[in-house]
Amino acid sequence: MEPALFWAPRSFLDDLRANLALNGVQAAVARRDPGPIFDWLQRLIQLQGISDSVAFAYADRHGTATWADLIASLAVDPSCPKLQGHRHFNRCGYRKSAGTCAEPAHLSRCPLPVLHLRKGALNQASYSLALFIRDMCAGDVVGWLDAQLAGADLGAAATYTASGLRAAVVAPLTAVHGVGAKLWSMALADLLLAGDPGRPRWVAAGARMIAIDTLVHGFLHRTGTLRRCRSEHVYGPACYADGGCADIIEAVAVKIDAREFNPDFPATFPRFVQHAIWRFCAAGVLDICNGVRIDDRAPCRQRLCPTGPNCDRLPLRPEKVLVTQP
In this prediction, residue 33 carries a pLDDT of 98
Query: What average pLDDT does the structure give for the chain?
Result: 92
In this prediction, residue 90 carries a pLDDT of 93
In this prediction, residue 27 carries a pLDDT of 98
User: Helix H segments across 23-153?
Assistant: 25-31, 34-45, 52-62, 67-75, 120-131, 141-152
Predicted TM-score (pTM) of the model is 0.91
In this prediction, residue 159 carries a pLDDT of 57
Cα–Cα dist 306/326, whole Å: 45
In this prediction, residue 321 carries a pLDDT of 43
Instruction: Name the stretches of the chain with pLDDT < 50.
Output: 156-158, 321-326
Q: H-helix or E-strand containing 19?
A: helix 12-22
User: Within 13 Å of residue 76, how many CA atoms lie on the same side as its CB?
Assistant: 9
Q: Is the dihedral of CA 69, 71, 74, 75 positive or negative?
A: negative
In this prediction, residue 50 carries a pLDDT of 84
- From the list 24, 307, 50, the residue with the least C-alpha distance to 191 is 24
